[in-house]
């Protein structure tokens, strides 16, 4: 009997040997093809790794080992995304330096990664909280600050080039949006330094703007969104969170929005991630539109839906809008003044975060503007739901297709005219009790309309195109004082004497007059106000979707996106507006009022100017201090450290350092480049090495990073590309997301409960405990085998022993085939069959690794092992096919089970190391089947199976099928309508 498989001893032995030999050290660029396989940058927490994290690290390790055996130069590094809130909070709590905590946590992660046999090149380990790393985060910040985005060249350029252009031409050639105030060359030259700084802020890719933070009034600190409960109270203090506006740093990612969207076409990523990024960026073709006031002023609005312009029935100005005074008619002056004053008073009281939507308020100015597309006079209102800081501070209101405008129009009785067809074309018509003839229901049924009846009231469902036919059918059967309408699509008001299309403000008035008379009421502000009050119509009166325009003159009937383009062209031809792409994505807020982050290399001088820290002064390091407690002012703890904050500039001026630090997304936006040349003191990374190794070939991590991290990293990569620092513009060629591993399912009161692993639930399973009981190879195998790679799945404690049993079987079949035989009957298995299985398995395993099907890769290896047992019982041990099969099994198992593979390799007399061997090459001829099973179906049901030569053609299959007794009996007397033959698969006889 061979020695028992003892993972604890042999795993430790080989891990020490591999480390001593630097087996996984990656050299510089060479002649070989490269493969860069990277895990998402982990944040080392005090809790260490769970088996859930290993779902990421094991598969990438399998891939790295596989590509090494394929002859690639493989880069497989690991480092630590170490700045951030959890460590800082822990530091405050335990009064320990966060750098010390980080090193402790990272060392533990590294120990665990070694424990599971991960083949990282630790000589390239990086930590983003170390000065030699964040030096280059700061370096990139300085370049962002010093560049602007030129839309004409579609790339970043030095800000000095913008200054030169401004001095010569002003903004005339830059193509500013209409909303941006232009500046002439003379005006620019007349600007003082502060005015220039303010102006350039609008262009810089890193700039200081204003943003609202969550303010905890008890702890007197800025807190993260996740530290605010759903009730708007701070987790720690329980205080009601307030909002506070601070000056903060942003990166102008919006400048790159178009390229970030466009270049998604060049990457191999899961489709859902691409879609999520596209939705996040949210490109839409909007327009700036000029409305003329009665006084002849231009009233500029921005709209994301130019296709709805014909439905703009009023305008709304923010209370602070500069034109409020001039458009207000004398009669309304007092009302407007008092509303504006009230709105301003209210704004001073910062509303709580996510306050429930309050009732709309507003006041009519008495003034009108002209809708540029149809010349309609539309009233101008003032309301506080329009914000001066957003867009132009004025909107065109399209109440039929914008929810806020809809609510506002209903409240103030303004007309609402639908101008976009519902995509589903659904419509309802309500026939009220006593308004129609008794014969009508039968007629409707006969005509094919479906309707429901309730207490004599009929609700008919139809579609827009049926509206006029429906009107013609119903009208003669309405009682003299009755009426009905088609609502949702088709839009008609049907009276006994006339049918009115609901297509304009005039029609709205006409319909209202009719209904007023019939209902004998005095006031009915709009047809829509009447419809909304009718429960049957509640869900169909309003929609905000894209669709085909109606009641919109020249764009009627055009598909949505074309309608937008046509409208923009219409406006531009007549000088009434300008197309402008609009993005949902907002600029990236980078400031954190925290200690534990990368310092921002900016100095604020006494005269109010921002000064860059010189490259030679980098890195600006964090001061070592005792206390990381936040200040009471909202500034970061750094602000209290006077000897760090105060700086004297070489020119004699004095200044204060920026005390905000960068959020950690900055660190993780370029780390994949630092791994390529991690110790370079002179530059971010050597350009030749970058050119060889980038982009990352395979990037693997959780789908929770689908949007932000990936978008930010892509943004920085494109920026560095524009600078000429990189020869590529997409950082991650292929991306895969592993599914979450949940805690083992448990049964409570008959209910199966599955939860996330978490410390608070005390249900974390660590790799340490699994390795201790079953070994790293069994853990690795089960991580692969547990489920499809991308699927979330609960851990099953019985799964690891199953994989362990497989490893035991591999151990015994390789080392002790001759000694052991099954007691069962003599098996029949040929050498040729074994050979075929060997080569089929090579193909399967290889394809599965390439396609991230690690679960079926393990299944293939298990089937191979089962086949070897059958072959042994058939007496094949010792044959050439047997020797080839065993060698192949060890090589194919090496990526997933590196320790046992290395041990067996050594014990079977092969040279160290199996991980430096070439991957076996499959022979397609040896793998080919000679005979295949073909299914015979009658009417799609399997009735028999035939074994035929693999190369049997369609005609042979058809003949065999028609001659088959079972097929004949199922056909019986019926005649054959069709015979479908799929070579190599089946014959289906249709009767």
Residue that the structure tokens 């260490």 belong to: 48
Q: Write out the two tokens for 824.
A: 């069962």
560-579: contacts with RNA (CB under 7 A): none
Window of 68-76, 81-89, 411-419, 509-517 that interacts with RNA by CB under 7 A = 81-89
Which CB sits closer to RNA, 500 or 776?
776
Query: Mapped to the 3 state alphabet, what secondary structure does 31-90 carry?
Result: CCCEEEEEECCCCCCCCCCCHHHHHHHHHHHHHHHHHHHCCCEEECCCCECCCCHHHHHH
Taking the least distance from each CB to RNA, the nearer of 152 and 977 is: 977
Q: Shortest Cβ distance from residue 645 to RNA (Å)?
A: 19
Smallest gap from Cβ 778 to RNA, in A, equals: 11
Residue (822 or 959) nearer to RNA, CB: 822
Minimum distance between the CB of residue 679 and RNA, rounded to whole angstroms? 23
**Burial code of 327-343, b = ≥16 C-beta within 10 A, e = fewer?**
bbeeebeeebeebbeeb
Q: Is 710 an interacting residue with respect to RNA (CB under 7 A)?
A: no
Q: Which of 283, 680, 855, 879 binds RNA (CB under 7 A)?
A: 855
First-to-last CA distance in the chain?
Answer: 62
Out of 176, 178, 187, 246, which residue is the one contacting RNA (CB under 7 A)? 246
Rounded CA separation 470/474 (Å): 6
Q: From the list 471, 720, 862, 957, which residue makes contact with RNA (rule: CB under 7 A)? A: 862
Q: Does 841 bind RNA (CB under 7 A)?
A: no
Query: Which among 334, 309, 213, 877 has a CA at the least distance from the CA of 549?
Result: 309
Residues of span 689-708 touching RNA by CB under 7 A: 703-708
- Taking the least distance from each CB to RNA, the nearer of 412 and 811 is 811
Taking the complex as a whole, the smallest distance from the CB of residue 737 to RNA amounts, in Å, to: 9
Select the residue interacting with RNA from 248, 598, 841, 888 (CB under 7 A): 248
**Measured distance CA(610)–CA(603) in Å, rounded:** 6
Stretch that binds RNA, among 30-38, 547-555, 587-595, 917-925 (CB under 7 A): 587-595
Among 296, 824, 909, 911, binds RNA (CB under 7 A): 824
CB of residue 879 vs RNA: minimum separation in angstroms? 19
Q: Are 249 and 210 in contact (CB under 8 A)?
A: no
How many whole angstroms separate alpha carbon 674 and alpha carbon 689?
Answer: 10
Residues 24-63 that bind RNA (CB under 7 A): 41-43
Smallest distance from RNA to CB 804, Å: 8
Cβ neighbors of 542 (< 8 A, separation 6 or more) are 400, 401, 403, 406
Least Cβ distance, residue 696 to RNA (angstroms) = 17
For the bound state, the minimum distance from the C-beta of residue 210 to RNA, rounded and expressed in Å, comes to: 11
Nearer to RNA, 514 or 543 (CB): 543
Strands 314-317, 377-382: pairing kind: parallel
* 980 near RNA, rule: CB under 7 A: yes
Q: Please report, as residue ranges, which positions from 763 to 792 form the binding site for RNA (by CB under 7 A).
A: 785-788, 791-792
The DSSP secondary structure of 934-971, one letter per residue, reads EEEEETTEEEEEEEEETT--HHHHHHHHHH-HHHHHHH
> Smallest gap, in angstroms, from Cβ of residue 114 to RNA?
21
- Whether 731 contacts 672, CB under 8 Å: yes
Residues 717-756 that bind RNA (CB under 7 A): 740, 745, 756
Of 76-84, 140-148, 514-522, 918-926, which part binds RNA (CB under 7 A)? 76-84
526 near RNA, judged by CB under 7 A: no
CA–CA gap between residue 933 and residue 952 (Å, rounded): 11
Q: Is 823 in the site for RNA (CB under 7 A)?
A: yes
Tell me: does residue 495 bind RNA (CB under 7 A): no
Number of H helices, E strands in the chain: 32, 38
Query: Among 436-444, 477-485, 914-922, 934-942, which window interacts with RNA (CB under 7 A)?
Result: 934-942
Residue 937 found at the interface with RNA (CB under 7 A): yes
Q: How far apart are CA 205 and CA 78, in angstroms?
A: 30
- Rule CB under 7 A: is residue 627 a binding residue for RNA? no
Site for RNA in 193-232 (CB under 7 A): 211, 213-214, 222-227
Taking alpha carbons only, the member of 19, 69, 60, 25 closest to residue 893 is 69
Interface with RNA includes 897 (CB under 7 A)?
no
Q: What would the two tokens of residue 704 be?
A: 């929770």
- For 366, phi and psi rounded to 5 degrees? 85, -10
| Region 529-558 residues binding RNA, contact defined as CB under 7 A | none
- Based on CB atoms, which residue is closest to RNA, 720 or 987? 987
Integer Cα distance of 813 and 836 in angstroms: 18
List 263, 863, 884, 954, residue binding RNA (CB under 7 A): 863
* Residue 859 binds to RNA (criterion: CB under 7 A): yes
562 touches 236 (CB < 8 A): no
Answer yes or no whether residue 946 interacts with RNA by CB under 7 A: no
| Cβ within 8 Å of residue 647, ≥6 positions away | 603, 654, 655, 656, 657
User: Please, are residues 447 and 538 in contact by the beta-carbon 8 Å criterion?
Assistant: no
Q: Supply 630's token pair.
A: 């936040």
Residue whose CB is less far from RNA, 451 or 583: 583
Site for RNA in 276-305 (CB under 7 A): 276, 279-280
Q: Which is nearer to RNA, 326 or 956 (CB)?
A: 956
**Distance of closest approach, residue 786 Cβ to RNA, in angstroms:** 5
Nearer to RNA, 245 or 648 (CB): 245
Q: Which of 313, 392, 567, 668 binds RNA (CB under 7 A)?
A: 668
Residues 595, 163: Cα–Cα separation, whole Å: 35
Among 490, 794, 898, 920, binds RNA (CB under 7 A): 794
Question: CB–CB of 868/850 below 8 Å?
Answer: no
Q: Considering the rule CB under 7 A, would residue 967 count as an interface residue with RNA?
A: no
Q: Among candidates 718, 712, 668, 675, which has minimal Cα distance to 693?
A: 675
From 71-79, 472-480, 589-597, 895-903, span contacting RNA (CB under 7 A): 589-597
Identify the sign of the CA torsion 25, 26, 30, 32.
Answer: positive
Whose Cβ is closer to RNA: residue 515's or residue 981's?
A: 981
- Burial track 408-439 (b if 16+ CB lie within 10 A, e otherwise): bbbebebbbbbbbbbeebbbbbbbeeebbeee
Quote helix, strand, coil % in the chain, to nearest 5.
40, 20, 40
Residue 592 makes contact with RNA by CB under 7 A: yes
**CB closer to RNA, 673 vs 706:** 706
Tokens of 419: 């101008």
Residue whose CB is less far from RNA, 48 or 86: 86
Q: How far apart are CA 402 and CA 400, in angstroms?
A: 6
Which residue in the set 266, 916, 939, 959 belongs to the binding site for RNA (CB under 7 A)? 939
């Amino acid at each position: 009997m061979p020695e028992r498989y003892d993972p604890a001893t042999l795993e430790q032995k080989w891990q020490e040997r591999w480390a001593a030999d630097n087996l996984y050290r990656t050299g510089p660029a060479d002649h070989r093809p490269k493969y860069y396989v990277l895990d998402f940058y982990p944040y080392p927490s005090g809790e260490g790794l769970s088996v859930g994290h290993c779902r990421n690290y094991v598969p990438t390790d399998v891939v790295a080992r596989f590509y090494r055996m394929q002859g690639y130069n493989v880069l497989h590094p690991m480092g630590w995304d170490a700045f951030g809130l959890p460590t800082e909070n822990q530091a405050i709590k335990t009064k320990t330096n966060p750098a010390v905590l980080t090193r402790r946590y990272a060392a533990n992660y590294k120990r665990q990664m070694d424990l599971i046999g991960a083949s990282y090149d630790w000589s390239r380990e990086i930590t983003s909280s170390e000065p030699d790393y964040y030096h280059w985060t700061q370096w990139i910040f300085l370049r962002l600050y010093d560049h602007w985005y030129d839309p004409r060249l579609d790339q970043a350029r030095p800000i000095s080039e913008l200054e030169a252009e401004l001095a010569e031409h002003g903004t005339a050639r830059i193509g500013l949006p209409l909303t941006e105030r232009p500046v002439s060359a003379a005006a620019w030259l007349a600007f003082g330094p502060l005015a220039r700084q303010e102006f350039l802020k609008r262009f810089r890719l890193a700039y200081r703007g204003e943003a609202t933070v969550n303010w905890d009034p008890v702890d007197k600190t800025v807190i993260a969104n996740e530290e605010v409960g759903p009730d708007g109270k701070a987790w720690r203090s329980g205080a009601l969170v307030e909002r506070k506006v601070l000056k903060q740093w942003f990166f102008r990612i919006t400048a790159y929005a178009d390229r970030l969207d466009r270049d998604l076409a060049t990457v191999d990523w899961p489709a859902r991630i691409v879609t999520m990024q596209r939705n996040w960026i949210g490109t839409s073709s909007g327009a700036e539109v000029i409305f003329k006031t009665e006084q002849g002023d231009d009233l500029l609005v921005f709209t994301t839906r130019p296709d709805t312009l014909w439905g703009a029935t009023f305008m709304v100005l923010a209370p602070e809008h500069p034109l409020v005074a001039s458009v207000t008619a004398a009669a309304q002056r007092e009302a407007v003044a008092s509303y504006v004053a009230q709105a301003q008073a209210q704004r001073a009281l910062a509303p709580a975060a996510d306050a429930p939507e309050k009732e709309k308020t507003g006041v009519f100015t008495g003034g009108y503007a002209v809708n540029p597309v149809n010349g309609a006079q539309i009233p101008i209102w003032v309301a506080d739901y329009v914000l001066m800081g957003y867009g132009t501070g004025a909107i065109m209101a399209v109440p039929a297709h914008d929810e806020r405008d809809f609510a506002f129009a209903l409240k103030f009785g303004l007309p609402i005219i639908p101008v976009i067809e519902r995509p589903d074309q659904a419509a309802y018509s309500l026939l009220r009790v006593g308004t129609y003839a008794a014969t009508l229901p039968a007629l409707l049924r006969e005509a094919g309309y479906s309707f429901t009846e309730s207490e004599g009231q009929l609700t008919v469902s139809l579609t827009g195109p049926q509206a006029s036919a429906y009107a013609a059918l119903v009208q003669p059967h309405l009682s003299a004082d009755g009426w009905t309408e088609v609502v949702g699509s088709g839009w008609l008001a049907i009276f006994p004497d006339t049918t009115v299309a609901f297509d304009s403000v005039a029609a709205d008035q006409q319909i209202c007059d009719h209904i007023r008379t019939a209902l004998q009421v005095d006031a009915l502000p709009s047809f829509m106000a009447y419809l909304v009050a009718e429960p049957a119509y509640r869900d169909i009166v309003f929609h905000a979707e894209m669709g085909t325009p109606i009641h919109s003159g020249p764009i009627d009937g055009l598909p949505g996106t074309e309608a937008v383009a046509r409208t923009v062209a219409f406006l531009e031809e007549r000088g009434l507006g300008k197309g402008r792409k609009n993005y949902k994505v907002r600029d990236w807020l980078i400031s954190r009022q925290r200690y534990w982050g990368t310092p921002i290399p900016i100095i604020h001088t006494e005269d109010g100017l921002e000064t860059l820290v010189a490259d030679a002064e980098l890195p600006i390091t964090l001061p070592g201090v005792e206390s990381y407690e936040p200040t009471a002012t909202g500034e970061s703890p750094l602000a209290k450290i006077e000897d760090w904050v105060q700086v004297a500039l070489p020119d004699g001026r004095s200044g204060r350092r920026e005390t905000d630090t960068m959020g950690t997304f900055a660190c993780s936006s370029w780390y994949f480049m630092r791994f390529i040349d991690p110790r370079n003191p002179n530059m971010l990374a050597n350009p030749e090495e970058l050119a060889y190794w980038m982009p990352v070939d395979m990037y693997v991590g959780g789908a929770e990073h689908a949007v932000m991290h990936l978008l930010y990293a892509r943004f920085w990569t494109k920026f560095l590309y524009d600078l000429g620092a990189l020869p590529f513009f997409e950082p991650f060629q292929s991306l895969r997301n592993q599914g979450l591993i949940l805690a083992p399912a448990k049964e409570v009161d008959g209910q199966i409960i599955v939860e996330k692993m978490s410390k608070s639930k005390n249900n974390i399973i660590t790799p340490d405990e699994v390795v201790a009981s079953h070994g790293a190879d069994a853990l690795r195998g089960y991580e692969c085998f547990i489920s499809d790679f991308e699927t979330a799945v609960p851990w099953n404690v019985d799964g690891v022993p199953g994989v362990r049993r497989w490893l035991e079987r591999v151990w015994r079949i390789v080392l002790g085939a001759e000694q052991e035989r099954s007691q069962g009957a003599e098996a029949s298995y040929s050498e040729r069959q074994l050979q075929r299985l060997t080569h089929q398995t090579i193909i399967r395993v290889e394809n599965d690794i390439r396609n991230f099907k690690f679960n079926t890769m393990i299944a293939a290896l298990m089937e191979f092992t089962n086949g070897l047992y059958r072959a042994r019982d058939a007496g094949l041990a010792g044959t050439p096919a047997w020797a080839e099969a065993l060698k192949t099994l060890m090589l194919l198992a090496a990526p997933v089970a590196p320790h046992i593979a290395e041990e067996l390799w050594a014990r079977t007399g092969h040279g160290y190391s199996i991980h430096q061997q070439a991957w076996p090459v499959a022979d397609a001829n040896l793998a080919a089947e000679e005979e295949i099973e073909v299914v015979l179906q009658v009417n799609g049901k399997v009735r028999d199976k035939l074994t035929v030569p693999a190369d049997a053609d369609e005609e042979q299959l058809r003949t065999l099928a028609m001659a088959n007794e079972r097929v004949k009996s199922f056909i019986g007397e019926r005649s054959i309508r069709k015979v479908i033959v799929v070579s190599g698969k089946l014959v289906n006889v249709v009767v």
